[in-house]
Every structure is written in structure tokens, then in C-alpha cells.
């Protein structure tokens, strides 16, 4: 298994191998809970016209809508989009003019109740039940329960400062996992803990994406900001996908500025009757979108 930093990628070599690309959402395609910036929208829209593209996020489907779909360019190829929210426990495809749910692995009512009770009890025991929060602290996403120590709507700066070495999340996840041995309990974003059925993480999403496309996991490039062991993007790298680490949407933009020209050339080579010039050049310099 290899994980490369975005600025250590040989884009030409990567494009020769890749048959699909998948992205984490928060702090990879967009800032936390914010829509993609215009520069990202341009690049992401073009990408959908060149190969299959997946969004694999711990967030709920509604956030994929507000952060990605609501701002997507009108000429995006929706048939190429694969939406996999709540860490891949749900999967949506564009069929017959609408987004259709392909599968969902929902928790039972008993498991939901047990997860909520454990999260509150353990967070209070560990001193992680914060008095000041922004929005919902424990969210039922159907196929996933998510605990956000500062609330779902906390400012990004507050989230980053709350647990810089991720030790608080790891302690809480370990304590809750001891209460719920039959469920998957894992650290999520900056302040969050996610609970779902066993085996339900981004590795499952990558494998299901590969099965859906009829390709191998090694044919998929996965881009995320939490690629270190224990990070919620790390399981995707463990599938054998070509993993690329970024630290912000700006890094992702720079990565795409390397990949898109190579992908345009590949598409042109695969269709000799179409000159490269017929593909719109939507590239924007990184400085233009800062």
C-alpha cells in the first residue's frame, strides 16, 4: 500500500492506470460543510466528462447535495457520478432523471438507541461533553450515528483546535467501541465519532465502486485529507486504490490542474476523430482561486 502526497504524483503515469477517481468531501473538495468554490466546480465538472467520479464522505446525503450537486456545472455528466455518503453505507446513482438510492445499510432502532446512550455517557465520563456547541451534537443519519463534540455547525477553526493530535477522539472511540462490540466505531472528522454496521467504512465504498464499474480497486485513485493511520480516509488506501493525500481543497485544485490535461489527451487519443481542441480548456491557475 502506498500513499502519495499530491505534489509527489506523476500525473502522466497515474492517468495511464486510473479508470476512476474518488474524493473525500470536507477539506478535500470543499471546506467543512461549505459548497465547492468556483474554481473547484469548474475542474470537478470537467472531470465528470472524462471518467467516473465518486464522492465518498462521512457526511449525510444532504451535505453532498448542498456542497456538490447544488453548485455543479450544468454540463456535468451525471451518469459518471457516484455518490457514497455516510462513509459508503449509502450509494446513489443518477437514473431516469433523478438520484436513486442503490443501497442503504441502516442501523436498527435498538442499535441507534444503544449508540446514542454510549456516546453521551462516555463523552461525559471523559470530559468531552462540551457546554458550548454549534448545532446538533449527535446526529442520526440512518446508516450512521455521528457524534460531533462541538456540534455539526461548529466553525472550522474551532474544530481544528479542539483535538489537534486526535487523542481525544481516539479515547472516546475506544470507550464507545467497548460498549458496542458488534458495531463499527471509528474517529471521523476533526471532532467527530462515527458508528455504523461492521465493515462499513471507506474501504467498503471503494470496493463497491470497483464492483459497480467492473474494475479493480487498483484502477481507482482516491484523494483525501485524512490518510494517516486512524484517519477516516486511510481505509480507502488499504484496498489497494492509488491513494493521494491533500491538506486542503487548494491542494486538490493543484492536483487536478496536473491530471486534467493528461485526461483530455487520453480521451482524444481514445477517439481519433475528435481533436484535443474540441475539449474546452477550463483550467484555472491556483492563484486565481485563492
* pLDDT tens profile 229-241: 888 899 999 999 9
The conformation of residue 40, written as its DSSP 8-state character, comes to H
Which pLDDT belongs to residue 213?
97
Same domain? For 68 and 191 the reply is no
The pLDDT of 258-275, averaged and rounded, is 72
* Predicted confidence (pLDDT) per residue in 59-116, tens digit: 999 999 999 999 999 999 999 999 999 989 999 999 999 999 999 999 999 999 999 9
Q: How far apart are CA 256 and CA 37, in angstroms?
A: 14
184, 196 Cβ separation under 8 angstroms: yes
Same domain? For 69 and 149 the reply is no
**Residue 277 pLDDT > 80, yes or no?**
no
Among 179, 196, 213, the domain boundary falls at 196
Same domain? For 256 and 134 the reply is no
Please report, for the domain that includes residue 252, its CATH number: 3.40.50.1000
Can you spell out the DSSP letters for 204-271?
A: HHHHHHHHHHT--GGGEEEEES--STTSTTHHHHTTT-EEEE-SSHHHHHHHHHHHHHHHHHHHHHHS
Q: How far apart are CA 248 and CA 30, in angstroms?
A: 8
**Residue 38 pLDDT > 90, yes or no?**
yes
Same domain? For 276 and 250 the reply is yes
Q: How many domains does one find in the chain?
A: 2
In terms of residues, how long is the chain?
290
Among 181, 196, 211, the domain boundary falls at 196
Which residue range forms the structural domain that includes residue 190?
Answer: 109-196
Among 196, 227, 259, the domain boundary falls at 196
* Predicted confidence (pLDDT) per residue in 15-30, tens digit: 999 999 999 999 999 9
Same domain? For 12 and 82 the reply is yes
Residue 185 C-alpha from the chain's centroid: 18
Which pLDDT belongs to residue 278?
31
pLDDT band per the 50, 70, 90 thresholds, residue 156: confident
The pLDDT of 44-70, averaged and rounded, is 96
Which pTM value belongs to this model? Answer: 0.83
286 versus 31: which is more confidently predicted?
A: 31
Percentage, residues of the chain above pLDDT 90: 81
The pLDDT of 132-155, averaged and rounded, is 94
Q: How far apart are CA 102 and CA 87, in angstroms?
A: 15
**Residue 173 pLDDT > 80, yes or no?**
yes
Amino acid at each position: 500500500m502506498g500513499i502519495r502526497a499530491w505534489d509527489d504524483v506523476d500525473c502522466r503515469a497515474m492517468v495511464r492506470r486510473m479508470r476512476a477517481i474518488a474524493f473525500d468531501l470536507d477539506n478535500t473538495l470543499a471546506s467543512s460543510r461549505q459548497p465547492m468554490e468556483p474554481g473547484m466546480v469548474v475542474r470537478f465538472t470537467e472531470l465528470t466528462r472524462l471518467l467516473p467520479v465518486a464522492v465518498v464522505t462521512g457526511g449525510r446525503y444532504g451535505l453532498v447535495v448542498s456542497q456538490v450537486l447544488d453548485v455543479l456545472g450544468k454540463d456535468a455528466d451525471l451518469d459518471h457520478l457516484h455518490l457514497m455518503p455516510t462513509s459508503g453505507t449509502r450509494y446513489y446513482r443518477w437514473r431516469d432523471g433523478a438520484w436513486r438510492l442503490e443501497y442503504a445499510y441502516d442501523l436498527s432502532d435498538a442499535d441507534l438507541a444503544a449508540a446514542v446512550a454510549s456516546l453521551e455517557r462516555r463523552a461525559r465520563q471523559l470530559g468531552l461533553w462540551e457546554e458550548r456547541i454549534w448545532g446538533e451534537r449527535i446526529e442520526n443519519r440512518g446508516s450512521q450515528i455521528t457524534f460531533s463534540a462541538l456540534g455539526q455547525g461548529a466553525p472550522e477553526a474551532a474544530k481544528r483546535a479542539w483535538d489537534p493530535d486526535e487523542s481525544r477522539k481516539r479515547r472516546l472511540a475506544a470507550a464507545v467501541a467497548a460498549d458496542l462490540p458488534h458495531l463499527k466505531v471509528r474517529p471521523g472528522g476533526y471532532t467527530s465519532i462515527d458508528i455504523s454496521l461492521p465493515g462499513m467504512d471507506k474501504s467498503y465504498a471503494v470496493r463497491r465502486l470497483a464492483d459497480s464499474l467492473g474494475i479493480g480497486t487498483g484502477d481507482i485513485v482516491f484523494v483525501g485529507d485524512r490518510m494517516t493511520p486512524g484517519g477516516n480516509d486511510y481505509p480507502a488506501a488499504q484496498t489497494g486504490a492509488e491513494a493521494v493525500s491533500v491538506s486542503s481543497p487548494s491542494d486538490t485544485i493543484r492536483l487536478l490542474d496536473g491530471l486534467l490535461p493528461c485526461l483530455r489527451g487520453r480521451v482524444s487519443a481514445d477517439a481519433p476523430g475528435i481533436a484535443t481542441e474540441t475539449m474546452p480548456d477550463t483550467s484555472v491557475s491556483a492563484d486565481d482561486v485563492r
